[in-house]
Structure 1
Amino acid sequence: MSGNRITGAALVAGIAGDPVSHSLSPVIHNAWLAAADMDGAYVPFAPADPAGFEALVAAGRAGLILGLNVTAPFKEQAFALADTATPAANLTGSANILVFEAGRVQADSSDGVGLMRGLREQAPDLTVAGQPVVLLGAGGAARAGAGALVEAGAQVRIVNRSPDRAEALAADLGPSVRVMEGPAALDGAVLVINALSVQPDLDFDAVAPGTVMMDMTYKPLITPFLAAARARGLPTVDGLSMLIGQAAPSFEALFRRPPPPLNLRALLTAHLGEGS
């Protein structure tokens, strides 16, 4: 792999979040830029508040950057600031991609794509169509994940400490999504997804054998949630699979070309210092 060159004509994109220092997206995208010998860079931005994020979007409108990946807590603000949005972003009212062109901003969401690709990779026998799926959390990533699951035909159950936010998500996504509480939410579920950044308060004794357990968090690779699931013999899907799944459409949107072939899982597990 050659090192990517940086000149005055460099293509610049990045990721915005708070915090953002933990993100593996710069590792992924800069590895792709190097593999393709592209004149470009993918850098982290850490706006201190919504006003800072709005200023960063203004810089994009001014042509200073090609686009942004967006992570918490700015995904819903990113959608609100855009001039146009793809169906995936419109469905969930959040965006993890902003593309800047000719002073305009387009919002997109690849989180749902990443979720479904991660499930296909690590739980290939799972079928969600017509089946109950439990989603723990109601933030931006949960919104995108819920949207993709609804499109796949799942019956989504949202469990969240803030019922108002969960109800708003259910109202946006329609009758296939409902808000539930307690062990009853787990009845018949084929998949449980942790979309929280912390260990959820989950009664694992209420989880049926064979239920697939997924965590959107990827650092550590085996989170306490996944470790608890594995200790009970439940199949698991890690957050790295989702990150890898959403990265390729992000790169293509930001740099206007598909990424070169690269073994991202090997690259990222080595970076994390964990086995694959």
Structure 2
Amino acid sequence: MTETLPYAEVIGDPIAHSKSPIIHNFWLKKLGIKANYQTFRVKPDELADYISDRRDDPNWQGCNVTIPHKLAVMDHVSDPGDVRASIGAMNTIARNDSGDLFGTNTDAGGFFAPIADVPLSGQDVIVVGAGGAAQAVLFALSRIKVGSVTIINRNVLKASALLARFGLKGQALEHGSTLPPARLLVNASALGMKGQDELTIDLDGQPDDAIIYDLVYVPLKTKLLRAAESRGLDTIDGLTMLIGQAAVAFEIFFGQAPPLEHDVELRKLLVI
């Protein structure tokens, strides 16, 4: 009889581009855990059925959630950490000791980890996007008391509402607007991702110490990061946050901390 292994997965639409299986399966192998991690495409109108099906599968340990489900999934699971009121988006679903499904968010911690040593208190920031990833970013920024935050988004009203929600001062601008100088610029949108529209931003007005942080990781070297490097600006790529948030989720799914001492080897696999 074939052994049925515990498993976790990442859901989204599209999802084939996801590198999460490489990360989690790498850690599972290093730790000798008999389990697997896979992608599973879930269209928006299939989300409720997906959650219902997995709820009854004892081998399912949970899932990571990506575009476009980070907001909608909150209607289908419990929220013990009050993520809806704080970050406003979930990226991780798991099963508690009673067997019930709950949601949380590991994006905020994953985003903040690589900039934890940067003195951003009182510094101005630009954030592109107003979806689930952007909300995790704004939540993190609100906790470190940054200065003015400029959100770039097609829907300016939605972006303005997010500033108010997270208690941030700043402004919302449409794409193509002239940007103010900022210490940190974050692309938290899907723009620039393979299969999506390009993100075009003029970085000429940014200071020489600006950090350009793109959460997109397919392609790893986005148009935004290439433009930043041509100016000699410091950059952070999307793999950094991806690995950071995955580490928190891995421990939730499989009960052990991932072996982060192998990060150099892991990154080599992720850029192939």
Does the TM-score normalized on the shorter chain lie above 0.5?
Answer: yes
Of 131, 142, 165 in structure 1, the residue corresponding to residue 134 of structure 2 is 142
- 1:15 corresponds in structure 2 to 10
Of 73, 78, 85 in structure 1, the residue corresponding to residue 73 of structure 2 is 78
Is this contact kept in 2: 1:28–1:264, CA < 8 A? Answer: no
For residues 104 and 167 of structure 2, the distance between their equivalents in structure 1, rounded to whole angstroms, comes to 20
For 1:171-186, list aligned pairs within 5 A: 171-176=164-169, 178-180=171-173, 182-183=177-178, 185-186=179-180
For residues 51 and 76 of structure 2, the distance between their equivalents in structure 1, rounded to whole angstroms, comes to 8
Is this contact kept in 2: 1:150–1:176, CA < 8 A? Answer: no
Segment drifting more, 39-48 vs 84-93: 84-93
**Greater percentage in helix:** 1
Could you state the TM-score of these two structures normalised by the residue count of structure 1? 0.87
For 1:98-113, list aligned pairs within 5 A: 98-101=93-96, 102-113=98-109
Compared CA separation, residues 87 and 271, structure 1 to 2 (3 A)? same
Is this contact kept in 1: 2:199–2:223, CA < 8 A? Answer: no
Is this contact kept in 1: 2:78–2:101, CA < 8 A? Answer: yes
Of 28, 34, 54 in structure 2, the residue corresponding to residue 60 of structure 1 is 54
For residues 161 and 185 of structure 2, the distance between their equivalents in structure 1, rounded to whole angstroms, comes to 20
Is this contact kept in 1: 2:107–2:133, CA < 8 A? Answer: yes
For residues 225 and 78 of structure 2, the distance between their equivalents in structure 1, rounded to whole angstroms, comes to 39
- Runs of 4+ residues deviating >6 angstroms: none
Query: Can you list the C-alpha shifts for 1:71-110, whole angstroms capped at 9, x where unaligned?
Result: 0000001223221242555412101101123452211111
Segment drifting more, 98-107 vs 130-139: 98-107
Segment drifting more, 166-175 vs 246-255: 166-175
SS in 2 for 1:21: coil
Q: Quick check: 1:129 aligned with 2:121?
A: yes
Is this contact kept in 2: 1:96–1:109, CA < 8 A? Answer: yes
Gaps of 5+ in 1: 1-5
Is this contact kept in 1: 2:142–2:168, CA < 8 A? Answer: no
Query: Can you list the C-alpha shifts for 1:202-241, whole angstroms capped at 9, x where unaligned?
Result: 2212112211111001122221100001101111111111
Of 88, 110, 117 in structure 2, the residue corresponding to residue 114 of structure 1 is 110
- 2:195 corresponds in structure 1 to none
- 2:88 corresponds in structure 1 to 93
For residues 270 and 34 of structure 1, the distance between their equivalents in structure 2, rounded to whole angstroms, comes to 14
SS in 1 for 2:101: strand
Could you state the TM-score of these two structures normalised by the residue count of structure 2? 0.88
Gaps of 5+ in 2: 192-197
Identical-pair percentage: 32
Compared CA separation, residues 268 and 89, structure 1 to 2 (3 A)? farther
SS in 1 for 2:204: helix
For residues 72 and 109 of structure 1, the distance between their equivalents in structure 2, rounded to whole angstroms, comes to 14
Quick one: which amino acid aligns to residue 49 of structure 2?
A: A
